[in-house]
């Protein structure tokens, strides 16, 4: 089992040692999409949801999710995030609307922030669902993906299907 980076010689899970890696500025942007009905979209635009603004709650959940990533993902290193920003945009879809949630995380560290960005959009999407489920339980949390990352030993990455 020792050929796997996250297992020790006894075949048990371990957090890899990153102490010899160089600090550098690293960023990661992730995206999640939610399909929602036109009725829900209109209710949000008209501020008719009893729970309040779902994007405000999702924004806070995304920031908290990024900060708590090591609590959710067992082998993630706790790192001091220097920036966490989320954005939200609606697009018309064939059968309603899509909410596009993006999170960009920045750090100067010896490890990347891909998991923090992915956790941020996931927490935001789940919170949006929770805030809106009284109006539309049929929402679909669709694809969640890493859009891009910069810095670190492996270099930059840009998802071939996103810009």
Which residue ranges make up each domain of the chain? 26-150
The C-alpha atoms of residue 63 and residue 113 are separated, in whole angstroms, by 13
> DSSP 3-state assignment of 2?
coil
The C-alpha atoms of residue 59 and residue 39 are separated, in whole angstroms, by 22
- Exposed (0-12), middle (13-18) or buried (19+): which is 132, by Cβ within 10 Å? buried
Q: Which CATH number fits domain 26-150: 3.30.70.640, 3.90.320.10, 1.10.3720.10, 3.40.50.1950?
A: 3.30.70.640
pTM of the model: 0.91
How many residues are present in the chain?
163
Is residue 75 annotated as involved in ligand binding?
Answer: yes
Is there a catalytic annotation at residue 95?
no
CA count, 13 A, side-chain hemisphere, 111: 16
Is residue 131 annotated as involved in ligand binding?
Answer: no
CA count, 13 A, side-chain hemisphere, 154: 10
pLDDT in tens, the chain (163 residues): 457 778 888 888 887 878 888 888 999 999 999 999 999 999 999 999 999 999 999 999 999 999 999 999 998 999 999 999 999 999 999 989 999 999 999 999 989 899 999 999 999 999 999 999 999 999 999 999 999 999 988 889 999 987 6
The single residue of 85, 130, 136, 156 carrying the catalytic annotation is 130
């Amino acid at each position: 089992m020792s050929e796997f980076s996250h297992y020790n010689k006894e075949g048990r899970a371990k957090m890899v040692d990153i102490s010899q890696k160089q600090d550098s500025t690293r960023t990661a942007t992730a995206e999640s999409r939610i399909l929602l009905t036109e009725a829900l979209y209109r209710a949000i635009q008209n501020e008719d949801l009893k729970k309040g603004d779902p994007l405000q709650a999702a924004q806070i959940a995304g920031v908290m999710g990024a900060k708590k990533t090591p609590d959710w993902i067992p082998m993630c290193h706790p790192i001091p995030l220097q920036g966490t920003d989320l954005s939200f945009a609606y697009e018309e879809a064939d059968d309603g609307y899509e909410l596009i949630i993006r999170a960009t995380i920045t750090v100067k560290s010896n490890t990347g922030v891909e998991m923090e960005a992915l956790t941020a959009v996931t927490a935001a999407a789940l919170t949006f669902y929770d805030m809106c489920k009284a109006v539309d339980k049929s929402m679909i949390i669709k694809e969640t993906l890493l859009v891009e990352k910069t810095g670190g030993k492996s270099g930059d990455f840009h998802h071939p299907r996103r810009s």
